[in-house]
Structure 1
Amino acid sequence: MSVEDKERPWERDSEVLYASDRQEPCHLHSRSPAEQELNSHYLLSSHPKPYKESWIQEVPSIYMNTLRVLPRLSASRTLLKSPVKAIGARRTFFTIIQQGQEGWRLSFGRNPTQLKPGIALNIPVYHEIRTVDLRESSISIPDLHGYTIDNVPVTLSGSLFFRITDGYKACFQVSDLYDNIRNAGTSSMRAVLGTFSYDQVIGDRNELNKQLNNVIGGSIKNWGVEGTRFEVQQFKPANREVERQLELQMEAERNRRKQLLDTQAQINVAEGHKQRVILESEGLLQAKANEAEANYTTVVRNAEARQQQSILEAAAFAKQVGEVAQSIAADKGNITAEDRQRALEALVELRRLEQLKAIASGKGNSTYFFGDLASMGGSPAAYNIDFAQNRKHGLETLESGGKVDRFTAV
């Protein structure tokens, strides 16, 4: 270290301050108060010149170094607050633009030139460089008092997430980007909150987030900023009295819904009973209709069967008449009408005998029905009980294989 550096430690410290290209304000506060007091004592005591003379001679140098440090201190504090950063004058001629940032270089305060990430020329006094952070950032909006559309006082807080899309507008069309975004968000939150009811916010907070993002994003779009999303962090009544009234209202609403559900349940039960009765009656009606249809079909089928049976029996009887008539006229050769008549009478008599046989076979049967008087000989004996007994005896004899005369058997 040279003698000049030992004699002027404040200039050596300022050299260390400006030697780094990093934009970190921690270098301004790297010296402790004890070190500053020690350096001040060294300044006043170790200088080879007389105290008064050395102090007067060193004042211009101290003043110039102070002027160089103060702008850097102001710029460094600005870096911590805003995404738009102004880089102060440096003794180096180069500045590094970090990845995810964008730089704008002014020449004597005008003619802005865009700078990409990397090394950029920065001539002191002539150039001024402002950097813009293009990454997504957020602003927290603290508790905000407002009213819903149903006049409920509430407290709302949230965070707005945004991204700078146009660095030129963010640098040169708005003075303090962060404060303006926060002010726009505050006024928009009150306006949007006034369009929602308390129950709507409680039931669907995502819709409130979407509306806030659209409204705030539209108001900050002219500054080259895009609102990515808004997240409501806290939403509650403004005071305890309002909260108690809301609890009573919600309890009344729950009771109303319970009564409505009970009434609807009773209506559903009655409707179910009605539908059950209707379905049962329709089922009975359909069963009766099916039964009647079945009976009708049965009667028709039985009639058709009897008709077919009669046709078949008539055909068989006619065939028997023909065969009997042919046997009667076997000697003659030709069948006459008289032969057919005799054959018919013989077959009828045979059927009658079969019916009488069936009647006589009945147990405890004492009533008998007979044909006309001609078939019984035309005598009054047809009405005599003895005659009937004889006929019964004749039938029994025929069954046992005996022989009787015509009047006794028939």
Structure 2
Amino acid sequence: MTGVIGIVVALGLLYLFASVKIVRQGYQYTIEYFGRFTTVASPGLNFFPAFFYRVGRRVNMMEQVLDIPGQEIITKDNAMVGVDGIVFFQVLDAAKAAYEVSDLYIAIMQLTTTNLRTVMGSMDLDETLSKRDEINARLLVVVDQATEAWGVKITRVEVKDIRPPGDIVNAMGRQMKAEREKRALILESEGLRASEILKAEGAKQAQILEAEGRREAAFRDAEARERAAEAEAKATQMVSDAIASGSTQAINYFVAQKYVDAVGRFADSPNAKTILFPVEATQLIGTLGGIGELAKEAIGGRRDNPPPPPAPRRGPFEGGQQ
């Protein structure tokens, strides 16, 4: 009797252990009642009577990565390229992922491969090489819509590598080289053009400045001649006033001044070894005497009335030959 009780207790413990279901974190188990889906077991300790309930599918609920194998695709301009990629997805509904599709991984791979051919087949070779972001976005939208019924969320689709044929790669290399040489020639031509423009602008500015300098110099020369003419006119006016007042000594003074300046110029000449005077010495002496008389009168008259300011002195032989 004791042995029978022990056997019953042992069988009860075995049944109890068989009914306990422990689900790991990141997974969900589908529970079937005589082969029919009833519920989903969440992570942790779950109890379902054995022989009546059993675990149907163990579904990974974490985000997963599926590698898309390389394949040959013909582009819109009939270029054969090799392409491979990866797909990131996550199961959101364990029941749908377990019972709505036979093999989830193969289904996602085949669906991505087919749509990759469709998307890249509608593009030229240059577009496939330069618009990877557009290819990824279009694939993501199409594949995500198709897998929504399976309880799967496609989080990301990436094209890893695009391999054009060898002859096309060589042609693209030659094209790139020609394009860069073209840019170099254009930049060099633009540099030469800019240099010539700057040189022309500099020459133009130099000519303008030179012309302005000549104009300023001519203006200053004219102003100097005008002032010299005003001074000469003023001196002539003073001499005329002196003559009109009956002062002959003023005439003698200016004549003597002209003679002395002219003789000084002959004497200052570096090549003057012999000087010939066109006037007699007695005339010069008489003129000097007149200067002396004028000086005496000027000293005597200064005591009574101060003399008027002297006329500005002019250069030799100005106003004609004496």
Range class of TM-score, shorter chain: 0.5 to 0.7
Q: What's the CA shift for 1:160?
A: 2.1
1:92 and 2:18 correspond: yes
What whole-Å deviation, never above 9, does each CA across 1:9-48 have from its counterpart, x for those lacking one?
xxxxxx9xx96xxxxxxxxxxxxxxxxxxxxxxxxxxxxx
Q: Give the unaligned 5+ runs of structure 1.
A: 5-14, 20-88, 238-242, 326-336, 369-387, 404-409
Q: Which shows bigger deviation, 99-108 or 158-167?
A: 99-108
Where 2:220 maps in the other structure, the secondary structure is helix
Structure 2 length-normalised TM = 0.65
- Match among 35, 38, 48 for residue 122 of structure 1: 48
Task: Pick from 207, 212, 219 the counterpart of residue 146 of structure 2.
Answer: 219
Amino acid corresponding to residue 178 of structure 1 in structure 2:
Y
Which amino acid is the alignment partner of residue 89 of structure 2?
F
CA 282–153 in structure 1, closer or farther in 2 if over 3 Å, else same: closer
Deviation at 1:182, TM superposition (A): 2.5
Is the CA contact (8 Å cut-off) linking 1:217 and 1:226 kept in structure 2? yes
Return the letter of the residue paired with 1:353: Y
Q: From the CA coordinates, give the structure whose radius of gyration is larger.
A: 1
How far off is 1:127 after superposition?
Answer: 3.3
Is the alpha carbon distance of 1:365 and 1:208 closer, same or farther for their aligned partners in structure 2, counting shifts above 3 Å? farther
Q: Relative contact order (C-alpha < 8 Å, sep 6+): which is higher?
A: 2
Letter paired with 1:357: V
* 1:152 is the counterpart of 2:79: yes
Runs (5+) with no aligned partner, structure 2: 5-10, 291-321
Distance apart, 1:291 and its partner CA: 0.8
Kept after mapping to 2: 8 A contact 1:162/1:227: yes
**2:207 corresponds to 1:294:** no
Aligned twin of 1:285: 204
Is 1:165 paired with 2:53?
Answer: no
C-alpha separation between the residues in 2 aligned to 1:296 and 1:190?
A: 81
Aligned length: 279
Equivalences for residues 5-404 of structure 1 within 5 A: 92-105=18-31, 112-129=38-55, 130-202=57-129, 208-232=135-159, 235-236=162-163, 243=165, 246-247=166-167, 249-311=168-230, 338-339=244-245, 342=248, 345-358=251-264, 360-361=266-267, 363=272, 388=278, 391-394=279-282
Given residue 160 of structure 1, which amino acid in structure 2 is its aligned partner? V
Q: Pick closer, same or farther for the CA change 1:320–1:107 going to 2, 3 Å.
A: farther
Q: State the Cα distance separating 1:198 from its structure 2 match.
A: 3.7
Deviation at 1:161, TM superposition (A): 2.3
**What do the CA deviations read for 1:195-241 (whole angstroms, capped 9, x no partner)?**
3444554566565445434432332133221223334456546xxxx
Work out the percentage of aligned pairs sharing the same amino acid.
26
SS of 1:99's equivalent?
coil
How far, CA to CA, are the matches of 1:182 and 1:159 in structure 2?
A: 9
The amino acid that maps onto 1:299 is A
Cα pair distance change 1:273/1:341, threshold 3 Å: farther
Structure 2 distance, partners of 1:176, 1:255, is 47
TM-score, structure 1 as length reference: 0.53
Q: Deviation at 1:268?
A: 4.3
State the Cα RMSD in Å. 4.4
